[in-house]
Amino acid sequence: MFQKLTIEDCLEVERRNLVKESLSEIGRVDGVLKSFITVLNEEQIEVNEGPFKAIPIAIKDNIVTKNIRTTCASKILENYVPPYDATVVRKLKKAGFAIVGKTNLDEFAMGSSTERSAFFVTRNPWDLSRVPGGSSGGSAAAVASGEVVAALGSDTGGSVRQPAAFCGIVGFKPTYGLVSRYGLVAFASSLDQIGPMTKSVRDAAILMQIIHGKDEFDSTTVDVKMDFLSHIEQGIEGFRFAVPVEVYEYEGLDKEVAERFEECIKLVEKLGGKVEKVKIPTLKYAVATYYVIAPAEASSNLARYDGVKYGLRIEKAGLKETYSVTRTTGFGEEVRRRIMLGTFTLSATYYEAYFNKAQKVRRLLANDLNAVFDRFDAILTPTSPIPAFKIGSITDPLAYYLMDVFTTFANLAGVPALSVPFGFAQGLPVGIQVVGKRFEDPKVLRIGRSIEKFSPYNENGRIPLPVVRT
């Protein structure tokens, strides 16, 4: 059955026309799910020779693709067709992967539900009345529903991991600098990372093997070559795990999510891991710090969309009015809100009080995490404090921002973090987050693989996937 195929399965099956099967499945369910902004037809899809030839994959629509529309789910880029491929896209094509379409997201990746796309809301394949998470909700829904074998997302404050948790798949945010950001439309440049979204931890490792590495077009990338697969099955006996006490202090933690988290801790101990509760004093400031730094960087990055260089242009009598009307019309409410917040915190009057102070807290948080990683192999938390919520049920921006309470700290510190499905709460998937030391990405995947392999909620190490009713 195509919907359940992993990348590894595709290497074993007879090379039937997987692209055609993927497009057929998209045609069957995407009218309901709305995972994709752009779907290519079979003649448009580029298929190259390579070890992964013709395995269908989706790309989040803020990662540029040559001659394929890249919108960032925004009216300001609705008709933008890039003249080049992002580095990750070029690497996937070289390996043979077939890109079948571009997935929906919260506009410019600013959101946690994919409700803030300028075009339409994506739905969770487990329950069509609920969100798939965000901002990589289209990619998560496309993988969970079996429209594609795997997808790429981007993660600025949890945007790969949180939708992976909501949709019951694997989502991995690599160490900052391990994967090139060249061709990723910038939101917050010091936080953004591209990561895989897959049906298994091993598939995430396969994609990481392909997309990581130094890139001359991205000066923040590091010159390291990692082996993500050699030790992935070796287990976690003797590993030490830290569980922040702040997890238990968070009042918004769902009771059933907390129960699944406790079950996962018991499984880790059963597999030979040592678990200890620790205090990470600066963790409680992570969300506030993130929502100062990220909008500030977004304010700077999104200044380029002015109606002059490319994208939407609404002609008015004067240049200033053209700027103003173009940006007001082209950007949605949440993007405008974050631009204004960021511009405010970068202003001369408030720079020291907000942005500079947030950068100092960020450094203190990184120091606290480094102290934890001197003693422990990884940190465990729930990925999200709640399971997927109903579409339209959260309207308060502050409540919405707290969706990121367990994920933003990994971006602020630039460390690798993985979400692995582990059971259900209210009949909806729950994700467990594994956070590791910088450049110990293979170890994080190894831990995730052990949880996946022995989870009582999986069958033969396989993550259960939903049946989408159309």
Nearest 5°: phi and psi at 122?
Answer: -85, 145
The SS3 call for residue 170 is strand
pLDDT band for 307, please (50, 70, 90 cuts). Answer: confident
Cα separation, 131 vs 115, whole angstroms: 7
pLDDT averaged over every residue in the chain: 96
Check: CB of residue 26 under 8 Å from CB of residue 32.
no
Check: CB of residue 444 under 8 Å from CB of residue 416.
yes
pLDDT band for 15, please (50, 70, 90 cuts). Answer: low
Q: Output the pLDDT for position 399.
A: 86
DSSP assignment letter at 389: P
Cα separation, 419 vs 196, whole angstroms: 11
Strands 193-198 and 417-425 turn out to be unpaired
Check: CB of residue 162 under 8 Å from CB of residue 421.
no
Nearest 5°: phi and psi at 358?
Answer: -65, -40
Residues 171-200 as b or e (16 or more Cβ within 10 Å = b): bbbbbbbbbbbbbbbbbbebbbbbbbbbbb
Q: Output the pLDDT for position 1.
A: 75
Percent of all residues in the chain with a pLDDT value above 70, rounded to a whole number: 100
At 117-131, the pLDDT tens digits run: 999 999 999 999 999
The sign one gets for the Cα dihedral 34, 35, 41, 44 is positive
User: One of 112, 135, 136, 200 is an active-site residue; which one?
Assistant: 135
Average pLDDT over residues 440-468: 96
238: pLDDT strictly greater than 80: yes
Q: Which residue has the tokens 């009307």?
A: 325
Percent of all residues in the chain with a pLDDT value above 90, rounded to a whole number: 92
- Closest by CA to 465, choosing from 429, 417, 419, 435, is 429
Clarify whether 347 is annotated catalytic.
Answer: no
The SS3 call for residue 56 is strand
User: One of 145, 159, 299, 384 is an active-site residue; which one?
Assistant: 159
pLDDT band for 286, please (50, 70, 90 cuts). Answer: very high
344 φψ region: left (φ > 0), alpha (ψ -120 to 50), beta (else): alpha
417: pLDDT strictly greater than 70: yes
For the domain with range 2-246+365-454, which CATH number is right: 3.90.1300.10, 3.40.50.2300, 3.90.1150.10, 3.40.640.10? 3.90.1300.10
323: pLDDT strictly greater than 90: no
CA dihedral 173, 33, 53, 163 (to 10 degrees): 10
Clarify whether 230 is annotated catalytic.
Answer: no
Q: Output the pLDDT for position 400.
A: 86
Q: Name 28's Cβ contacts closer than 8 Å, sequence gap at least 6.
A: 470
Q: Output the pLDDT for position 274.
A: 98
Neighbours of 420 (CB within 10 A): 31
Measure Cα distances from 93 to 45, 85, 96, 253, 370 in Å. 11, 10, 5, 41, 37
DSSP assignment letter at 388: P
At 397-407, the pLDDT tens digits run: 888 898 899 99
393: pLDDT strictly greater than 70: yes
Check: CB of residue 105 under 8 Å from CB of residue 134.
yes
Check: CB of residue 173 under 8 Å from CB of residue 155.
yes
Q: Which residue has the tokens 């693709």?
A: 65
Q: Output the pLDDT for position 116.
A: 97
Alpha helices (H) along 253-407 = 255-270, 286-301, 319-330, 333-346, 357-373, 397-401
Cα separation, 102 vs 68, whole angstroms: 8
User: One of 22, 34, 35, 60 is an active-site residue; which one?
Assistant: 60
Q: Name 377's Cβ contacts closer than 8 Å, sequence gap at least 6.
A: 236, 239, 240, 241, 436, 440, 443, 447
The amino acid at residue 403 is M
Residue 139, preceding peptide bond in cis (omega within 30° of 0): no
DSSP assignment letter at 164: H
Cα separation, 150 vs 59, whole angstroms: 9
Measure Cα distances from 357 to 134, 200, 362 in Å. 28, 40, 9
pLDDT band for 470, please (50, 70, 90 cuts). Answer: confident
Cα separation, 457 vs 422, whole angstroms: 7
Average pLDDT over residues 7-22: 90
Clarify whether 384 is annotated catalytic.
Answer: no
Q: Name 141's Cβ contacts closer than 8 Å, sequence gap at least 6.
A: 33, 35, 103, 114, 122, 123, 124, 125, 132, 147, 163, 167
Q: For the chain, first and last CA: distance in Å?
A: 17
Cα separation, 324 vs 316, whole angstroms: 9
Q: Output the pLDDT for position 394.
A: 94
- Closest by CA to 61, choosing from 84, 35, 93, 31, is 35
Cα separation, 168 vs 125, whole angstroms: 10
pLDDT band for 190, please (50, 70, 90 cuts). Answer: very high
